[in-house]
Structure 1
Amino acid sequence: MYQLLVFVHILAAVVWIGGVVFIPLVLMPATRGMSQRTEVITAAGRRFRVVGWAALALGVATGLAIAYLRGVPRLLLTGELWESSWGRLFVAKVLLVGAMIALSLTHDLLLVAAGRTMRRKDASGEAVARAARYRRLSSIAAQAMGLVALAVLAVAVLLVRGLP
């Protein structure tokens, strides 16, 4: 059972991080100059939002199960979690995952949604400028999310293989 949980956890991480890295490194540059760029990116973003959030939820759920099986609740209650480098790395990973979720929520629910409502064809010049600002902020949030996702991956490697 443990190995299955780890497999699903890694698969969820691959899907999440793969999408977070694919969009800015492949999709955005590949669509530059296309007349339908906004539509393509919007469609890909909507699709990834469903797949990505499912992967993230699955990753969190399997991560909690793995932590339970590894005895993290006992280590937390006894205070031993803070005494080992593994425990401190585990806490760092949990905090990074929390930051990644917060950035994702900010990106998906606040910035993208706000930019979309201001992009209507009948929008005033001020609304169009505000929409452009939201698109820039959305891009910054997505880039930060990608960096945090890579940090989660790096800490996960250290958890499994130990500090050098």
Structure 2
Amino acid sequence: MHAHTFIQLLAVAGTAAAATLTRRECGEKADQFCFGRDGGTPSQKIDVEDLQYVAAFLRNVGKNAAGGAGAFYTMPSGVECEEWAIEVPGAGTVLALAKHINPRTLSSVLLTDIADTIDGGSNTNKAKSLLGCGTGGGWLGVATNATDPAYNTATYKASKAKPQDIIIKIVHA
């Protein structure tokens, strides 16, 4: 094999490897997963009242922002499957994390939708929320309320963001 042909093969292999890295799975899926019962990860032993406080806090911040920029939690697109802490003062035993499960998407969801994902909100089955994991903690994809007018504003549409591809993970602080 000539050196020139070998270098071309390396370049093609490197391109394929890079494409594989940027398209990789991020691990967790949007389906509900509860620590301590759905796999080998032990229960996080969180206080359920702390979990309800976190949901109430996020819902309050989201409602007070009234659809403005502060009403959203946004994760930019990129090549990594990033996981960020959601700052909630006084959260006690709960650390709420947002994880980007599709790095190619500019994901932005309402804080009220995150709150509903945590505690089930008023119109959903609480067993299918993170509250349904009890003291164990776990993760769940944010279920967005697509009919919320905030997702249909000119500002949101111009951002090219999508209300998808974020999971909320509850672990012990």
* Structure-2-length-normalised TM-score: 0.25
Structure (1/2) with the larger strand percentage: 2
- Greater share of residues in helix: 1
